[in-house]
């Protein structure tokens, strides 16, 4: 009996000890996984974050988007509220859904992973092919003709931002939205801990094992300017110009684009001047205009009393009418808008004043870092990685200027990091060279006849 009682007490004591050990032990949480900060919630950053967070890594994406992430995959939705302090009012455009940057998606040859992604999006209705013959080539000396292309173009029926929302929908990563990581002191390499500290709005947002730069332009350049990853920063230095030398130049070069969306009474003079099945068109041999799309014919709209058209300028036009992107002067907005409307009237032999008389609302936006005019080519990947400082870079400028290029670059960086499972001991993307992009001639919307991954023309 005594022996039995002793054994019973001994068993109970072991159970209590095990319970205490469990309670006092540090909790095992997702933060024990290697942590990654992704600066930029465009398609490259979201593609990378989606894959990383599904396997092995704890990921936080920092994005400046006020309404939604997605970068240049930007749509305006009915009911979107203007930002604080914005006194502009758009009583008609605010009732419609329209894309005001990227307009369509194509799948370049040899982009097999992206092909599968597009098929999956298409199967779920996120993407749909444009109707055959609805995309046109518009020249000044001939009537619009249907564009012949070996590669179909896709659009998102709910707006191009839907693909970003799909990447976010079932996310396993943290998205910090409307967060400005300051270019002056937003990221800092802590040598002692071998981590990256991220700061925003005057507070530390975390210390991360890895840093990924998923955007470009002046902010990315400044963000990395004081970091010890000198080779990475050297490739983020940027010029803004509408052209590059035949040899590609020696620095990233970005072209700017103005996007003007106008709401006109239906049926408009413009719609009457174009074929009934016209949805969008590439404009050639025009120094001001690059692309035209009728949002009502592309996206389903409940109100048919008006039409919404979006005009994308050429980079050369944007360069001639350079302005601050965030706080554009009212006189610049007026001047640029009227010039683009007049250019559209001239293109279709419509008196500019007649076209302007039908405009009931308009909205102008400048995309300062819209199109990479050259791309970085290296022998071992469509991304950059510095193993000493644990920093990677992804973006369309590392492959080709398009949604396909952005998604693929982000996914390739994620694949590289997932395969290594934290044991990242080699640099990727260095050395290499800049080459002129052929796709930029189509504003990053459709693919040239040759595979751009192998073209240096």
The pLDDT value given to residue 27: 32
- pLDDT, tens digit, for every residue of 259-274? 999 999 999 999 999 9
Asked whether residue 7 carries a pLDDT value surpassing 90, the answer given is: no
pTM: 0.89
54 Cβ neighbours under 8 A, 6+ residues apart: 172
In this structure, are residues 106 and 251 in contact, taking their beta carbons and an 8 Å threshold?
A: no
CATH of the domain at 239: 3.50.50.60
CA distances from 305 to 100, 261, 299, 352 (A): 21, 16, 15, 22
Q: Has residue 72 been placed in a domain? A: yes
Q: Has residue 380 been placed in a domain? A: yes
Q: Has residue 320 been placed in a domain? A: no
Q: Has residue 286 been placed in a domain? A: no
Q: Has residue 100 been placed in a domain? A: no
Q: Has residue 144 been placed in a domain? A: no
- The domain total for the chain is 1
Instruction: Determine the straight-line distance between the first and last CA of the chain, rounded to whole angstroms.
Output: 93
- pLDDT, tens digit, for every residue of 196-205? 999 998 899 9
Q: Has residue 180 been placed in a domain? A: yes
Domain span including residue 394: 34-77+162-252+373-454
- pLDDT, tens digit, for every residue of 365-378? 999 999 999 999 99
The pLDDT value given to residue 444: 61
**Residue 143: how many CB atoms within 10 A of its CB?**
11
| Mean of per-residue pLDDT scores for the chain | 89
Q: Has residue 139 been placed in a domain? A: no
The mean per-residue pLDDT over the stretch 434-452 comes to 63
Asked whether residue 389 carries a pLDDT value surpassing 90, the answer given is: yes
């Amino acid at each position: 009996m005594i022996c039995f009682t002793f054994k019973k007490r001994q068993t109970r004591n072991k159970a209590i000890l095990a319970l205490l050990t469990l309670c006092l032990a540090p909790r095992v949480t997702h933060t024990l996984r290697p942590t990654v900060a992704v600066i930029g919630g465009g398609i490259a950053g979201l593609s990378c974050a989606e894959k990383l967070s599904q396997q092995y890594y704890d990921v936080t994406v920092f994005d400046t988007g006020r309404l939604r992430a997605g970068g240049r995959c930007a749509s305006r939705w009915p009911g979107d509220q203007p930002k604080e302090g914005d006194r502009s009012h758009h009583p008609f455009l605010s009732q419609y859904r329209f894309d005001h940057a990227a307009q369509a998606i194509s799948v370049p040859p040899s982009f097999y992973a992206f092909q599968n992604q597009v098929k999956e999006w298409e199967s779920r209705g996120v993407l749909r092919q444009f109707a055959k013959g609805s995309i046109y080539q518009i020249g000044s000396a001939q009537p619009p003709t249907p564009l012949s292309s070996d590669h179909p173009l896709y659009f998102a029926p709910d707006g191009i931002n839907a693909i970003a929302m799909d990447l976010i929908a079932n996310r396993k990563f943290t998205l910090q939205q409307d967060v400005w990581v300051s270019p002056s002191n937003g990221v800092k390499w802590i040598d002692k801990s071998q981590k990256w500290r991220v700061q925003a709005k005057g507070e530390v947002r975390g210390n991360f094992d890895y840093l990924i730069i998923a955007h470009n332009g002046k902010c990315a350049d400044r963000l990395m300017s004081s970091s010890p990853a000198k080779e990475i920063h050297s490739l983020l230095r940027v010029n803004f110009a509408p052209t590059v030398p035949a040899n590609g130049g020696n620095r990233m070069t970005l072209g700017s684009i103005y996007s003007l969306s106008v709401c006109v009474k239906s049926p408009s003079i413009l719609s009457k001047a174009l074929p009934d099945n016209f949805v969008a068109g590439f404009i050639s041999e025009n120094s001001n205009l690059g692309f035209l799309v009728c949002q009502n014919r592309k996206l389903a709209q409940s109100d048919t009393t008006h039409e919404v058209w979006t005009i994308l300028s050429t980079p050369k036009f944007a360069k001639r009418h350079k302005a601050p992107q965030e706080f554009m002067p009212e006189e610049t907005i007026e001047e640029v808008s009227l010039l683009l409307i007049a250019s559209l009237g001239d293109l279709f032999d419509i008196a500019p004043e007649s076209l302007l008389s039908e405009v009931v609302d308009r909205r102008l936006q400048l995309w300062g870092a819209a199109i990479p005019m050259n791309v970085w080519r290296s022998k071992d990947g469509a991304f950059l990685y510095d193993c000493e400082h644990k920093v990677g870079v992804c973006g369309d400028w590392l492959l080709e200027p398009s949604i396909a290029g952005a998604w693929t670059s982000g996914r390739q960086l994620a694949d590289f990091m997932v395969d290594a499972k934290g044991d990242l001991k080699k640099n990727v993307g260095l050395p290499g060279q800049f080459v002129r992009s052929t796709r930029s001639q189509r504003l990053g919307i459709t693919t040239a006849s040759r595979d751009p991954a192998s073209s240096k023309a």
